[in-house]
A = this chain, B = another copy of it.
Amino acid sequence: MLSVHQLTCFLAAYEQGSLTRAAEELGYAQPSVSEQIRTLEKSLGVQLFRRVGRGVTPTTVADTLRPYAERVLASIDEAERAVRSVRSLETGTIRFGMFGTARLYAGADLVADVLERYPGVRVELVGQNSTDVQEELRRGRLEAAMIAVAAASSEGMTITPVARDELVYISADPERVASPVTAARLSQASLVMPETTWRANDSTRIVLRQMLHETGRNPMTRIEVEDVETAVELVGMGLADSVVPRGVVDQLLPRLAPDAGWVSLRPRQHDILAIVHRADAILSPAAQLMIELATHRIQEICEPVRPR
């Protein structure tokens, strides 16, 4: 019989490509992990890793097993969370992923909403970068999240669009925001982009790359900074221009770059804000609450999107 333990060790070994590192990650000695993998292989009757000098390499069977193993662990995790959250809306912790612009202008209000209804709970908004959030979702450590996503859906995830947010060009130079910005003009601009936006697999990045690609040019020289706030400040100082969601403009421009203006791109482009969770997940009451509240908040600020 497969055990959770074996699958945990298997996944760690798969991801680390090494039994030793897997053991470190799990806090065990190396032979223990080795033994778990061996019994797992034996009980399945297949070889999962090839031992070859440095480290281990997964076989194709291991590739096949991996998503199933992840799913088992995720469902175990869901089970635990479900039980805890039965009384947990009184006392537990609610975790919710929220990355990108969504976090920026709905985070605080969302926490307030939850606390108003359930004064006893602890709220945790996870979301330094979207790779983390997606990884936590995939691993089942996070039930659901609201993130800005590209149109394409990730494997095994259910993506429910709730709102869209226009991407606009901001600049301290009035001339450059006098008329909609085309791809050609964009390719010549000197932009500052928050690193999170560039690295993230979200609409902003994809849209901009596509626009640049159409001009037949390489990506322009650009400044990368850590967060949107800094980017907006730099724009306010006239050091560069940027492309940000409309919500950010309303939220930050008056405060951080009062002299800057904004204008649409041509054609208009949008970030899609969506709720994302594992396709096979049963959502806990807490997660459903967060989704409901977050959707409500976002749709107050951005243009709602009705799912088909």
- Which residues in A have some Cβ–Cβ distance to B below 8 Å? 1-5, 7, 44-47, 50-53, 57, 59-61, 63-65, 67-69, 71-72, 75-76, 78-80, 82-84, 86-87, 91-95, 138-141, 143, 278, 280-282, 284, 286
- Measured between alpha carbons, how far is A282 from B78 in the docked complex, in Å? 17
One of B50, B91, B140 near A140 (C-beta < 8 A): B50
Given contact pairs A47-B284, A60-B94, a sample of 15 additional A-B residue pairs in the complex whose CB atoms are under 8 Å apart: A1-B5, A2-B76, A3-B3, A4-B4, A46-B87, A57-B141, A60-B92, A60-B93, A61-B86, A61-B92, A64-B86, A68-B82, A68-B83, A71-B282, A72-B79
Shortest Cβ distance from A90 into chain B, in angstroms? 11
Contact assessment for A82 and B57 in the assembled complex, using a CB-CB cutoff below 8 Å: no
| A72: nearest chain-B partner, CB-CB | B75
Shortest Cβ distance from A143 into chain B, in angstroms? 8
- Measured between alpha carbons, how far is A286 from B92 in the docked complex, in Å? 37
Kindly report how many copies of this chain are found in the complex they form together: 2
A69 / chain B contacts, CB cutoff of 8 Å: 79
Interface centre among A45, A68, A141 (most CB of B within 10 A): A68
- Measured between alpha carbons, how far is A51 from B282 in the docked complex, in Å? 12
- Measured between alpha carbons, how far is A305 from B2 in the docked complex, in Å? 40
7 A-B contact pairs sorted by A residue (CB < 8 Å): A3-B4, A4-B4, A52-B139, A68-B79, A71-B78, A71-B79, A75-B75
A80 / chain B contacts, CB cutoff of 8 Å: 2, 44
A141 / chain B contacts, CB cutoff of 8 Å: 50, 57
- Measured between alpha carbons, how far is A94 from B78 in the docked complex, in Å? 30
- Measured between alpha carbons, how far is A2 from B1 in the docked complex, in Å? 15
Contact assessment for B60 and A82 in the assembled complex, using a CB-CB cutoff below 8 Å: no
A63 / chain B contacts, CB cutoff of 8 Å: 92-93
Contact assessment for B82 and A46 in the assembled complex, using a CB-CB cutoff below 8 Å: no
A46 / chain B contacts, CB cutoff of 8 Å: 83, 86-87
Contact assessment for A78 and B68 in the assembled complex, using a CB-CB cutoff below 8 Å: yes
One of B1, B60, B139 near A286 (C-beta < 8 A): B60
A281 / chain B contacts, CB cutoff of 8 Å: 50
If A72-B72, A83-B44 touch, whether A282 touches B2 (CB-CB below 8 Å) is no
If A1-B4, A71-B282 touch, whether A61 touches B79 (CB-CB below 8 Å) is no
Contact assessment for B91 and A64 in the assembled complex, using a CB-CB cutoff below 8 Å: yes
A71 / chain B contacts, CB cutoff of 8 Å: 75, 78-79, 280, 282
- Measured between alpha carbons, how far is A94 from B61 in the docked complex, in Å? 9
Shortest Cβ distance from A236 into chain B, in angstroms? 33
- Measured between alpha carbons, how far is A280 from B7 in the docked complex, in Å? 19
- Measured between alpha carbons, how far is A71 from B50 in the docked complex, in Å? 31
